Amino acid sequence: MLTDAEIVSSRAYPSPNPAVELTEITYWSGGVRVKGLLAEPKAPGEYEGIVYMRGGIQHVGMVRPARIAQFASRGFVVFAPYYRGNRGGEGRDEFGGADLQDAVSAVDVLKQSPLWKEGRMHLFSFSRGGLMALWTAILRDDITSTVHWAGVSDVVFTYKEREDMRRMMKRVIGGSPNNAPDAYRERTALFRVDEIDASVLIIHGMKDENVSLEQSIMLEDALREAGKPVETWYFPDYTHHFPAWRNAEIVRDLTAWMKAQT
């Protein structure tokens, strides 16, 4: 039997950036084969790691090679799990259920890169990925920092504010918060943020209608109440998706923030 994070296979993947090499990795996670995309700078050296937690579910919000290469070009080795049930991976994407293991194991997949700088591991998450990153930071003690951009922090809150997602959530999670409360509570990380040892940066557009600003404020409040280091960058003029030029500026700034964390 294979162990979690054991790499089953890998194949070269076309890279949009001549300075970054991409590899699609198939790895073992919780008894199934899961896939993800690894981005490594071509220049020799040691690089801090980022596990990139994608948003969405299934084909919506899928990992984009250009985005992963963008982070790697800032001087990082980056690994982005697709989560189980996606792009030929086994199992079923459960929106923060058993698929959380795919995120937790992804850290150990990245550590197998010969370019990774030991002791420096960060998490970056967007939208639904916020849920995955929070749990990874809770369940592991080797995370330096974690960035939550427009991140989900409360699954019940998401169900209530996203009417268009309710049918999917009922199907994937096994009901609504009314008839399956335990399944929703088990996915909500807010109750255990006191177990996070990493520095936390929260980013959110205040006009976001996909994931409300309230989700970030709840996370910020919970972290502050637990005495955890947290920084917030709230942007009054932006929605869920920022203009490309502003997005690039923030990636530059947040990767600099990551490198400054101890």
Q: Which residues are catalytic?
A: 127, 240
Could you tell me if 176 and 166 are in contact, meaning their C-beta atoms sit under 8 angstroms apart?
Answer: yes
Q: What is the 3-state secondary structure of the chain?
A: CCCCCCEEEEEEECCCCCCEEEEEEEEEECCEEEEEEEEEECCCCCEEEEEEECCCECCECCCCHHHHHHHHCCCEEEEEECCCCCCCCCCCCCCCCCCHHHHHHHHHHHCCCCCEEEEEEEEEEECCHHHHHHHHHHHCCCCCEEEEECCCCCHHHHHHHCHHHHHHHHHHHHCCCCCCHHHHHHHCHHHHHHHCCCEEEEEEECCCCCCCHHHHHHHHHHHHHCCCCEEEEEECCCCCCCCHHHHHHHHHHHHHHHHHCC
How far apart (Å, rounded) are the C-alpha atoms in residues 123 and 129?
A: 10
Cβ neighbours for 14, distance < 8 A, ≥ 6 positions apart: 22, 65
